[in-house]
Amino acid sequence: MRISKLTTHVVGTAWRTLTYVQVHTDEGLTGVGEARMLNHTDALLGYLAEAEHNHIAGSDPFDIEDLVHRMKYRDYGRAGEVVMSGIACVETACWDIVGKALGQPVWRLMGGKVRDRIMAYANGWYRVDRTPDAFHDAARVVVERGYRALKVDPFGAGRFELDHAETMRSVSLVEAVRDAVGPAAEVFIEMHGRFSPATAIRLAGLLEPYDPGWIEEPCPPENHKALAKVAAHTRLPIATGERIHDRIEFRELFELQAADIIQPDTAACGGIAETRKLAATAETHYVLVAPHNVGGPVQTAANLHLGACTPNFKIQEHFNDFADVEIKKIAPGVPDVVDGYFALPTAPGLGVELDLDALAEFSAERAGLDLFAEDWHLRGAGR
């Protein structure tokens, strides 16, 4: 069996652009991968066109390690977000092909399950006015939907510092969310790399009474020592990693003991097996894994296979029950979240199939999102 070609399909919504990649073989099997590139979709498509010629066409889809190694290193330049996302799309699609060829779900091919279900947390649910009442009502909908965990960025367009009024407003939103979901639900606080270490430490102290499960990316991601400073001055768990695109670059993070939970994005970090290798390294440092997932059904499926076979897997992020719900019809097959958990996929491969007719109903127009703009959290709601 050999890879004969790639086809790409771009889906635009009000706030995200998703790229679906089909890897076709000369024996008729087709696999699918997915990436979400924030404002760099055309760069991804350009890279994939070159990589198809240079590395992918003619390769055996079973030889995933060799293909990933060639795509990452044979071009000699250092692989960053675009290249690692392109690799992830192709790598994931190859696992899909191998699973279909062998009649097995991907998680069985990666060591088998270590759990029977995967806990989920909701994101994208707070596309409402930044008031305590609005956040309270929106959070209630999440728990009524069955989720036992959710994440929120309450900080508006904050950057490096917040004035006193914005600080108190942000804390009041977290207080409202905690009141809405009760003491048993997990509340994760997203910071989107907004703050200086001093500001992040101060905010962590103010948020501590609301018992967040973690504070996420409190500082910009380029400086791990700044993050270590925050970690040394708060009792709250630290989560980070969605903007680190090579598992090797997590090394300093582990050495500094700057994070308790890492959040690699399987669609931007080289794919399922690359992330599984990273998770194994994290396990040796007693660090948990909670993959970043702002993708649609294909990336969600890939993460469920990773979660099924990864001992230190904590929880899975999920947008698609609250933002762009219709995106799920593009690739049916992902289990629904029931009582806060995904069931394991059981169909061969990833367990999803790309529906090109459903995909054609979406615009291919590129979406833009600036997380430092006013009202970014609305993510196009009502527009």
Rounded to whole angstroms, what are the CA distances from 196 to 75, 93, 139, 173, 218? 36, 39, 28, 21, 8
40 is catalytic: no
Active-site residue, selected from the candidate residues 9, 55, 292, 318: 292
Give the residues across from 186 on adjacent strands. 149
> Under 8 Å CB-to-CB from 233, ≥6 apart: which residues?
201, 204
Residue type, 382: G
* DSSP string covering 82-134: HHHHHHHHHHHHHHHHHHHHHTSBHHHHTT--S-SEEEEEE-S---S-SSHHH
Question: How open is the CA angle 27-90-65, to the nearest 5 degrees?
Answer: 90
Q: Which residues of 104-138 are buried (b: 16+ CB within 10 A; e: fewer)?
A: ebbbbbbeebeeebbbbbbbbbbbbebebeebbeb
| Closest of 332, 323, 254, 255 to residue 289, by C-alpha | 254
SS3 annotation, 256-300:
CCCCCEECCCCCCCCCHHHHHHHHHHHHHCCCEECCCCCCCHHHH
Give the number of other Cβ atoms within 10 Å of residue 195's Cβ.
26
Which residue pairs from 356-364 have beta carbons closer than 8 angstroms and sit at least 24 positions apart in sequence? Answer: 356/9, 358/329, 358/330, 359/9, 359/11, 359/20, 359/330, 362/11, 362/12, 362/13, 362/327, 362/330, 363/11, 363/12, 363/13, 364/10, 364/11, 364/12
What residues does 5 pair with on adjacent strands?
A: 24
Specify the DSSP element, H or E, that contains 45. Answer: helix 41-51
From the list 55, 192, 224, 305, the catalytic residue is 192
Question: Does 292 qualify as catalytic in the annotation?
Answer: yes
- Residue closest to 139 by CA, chosen among 149, 87, 57: 149
Q: β-strands 341-343, 337-338: how paired?
A: antiparallel
Active site residues: 192, 292
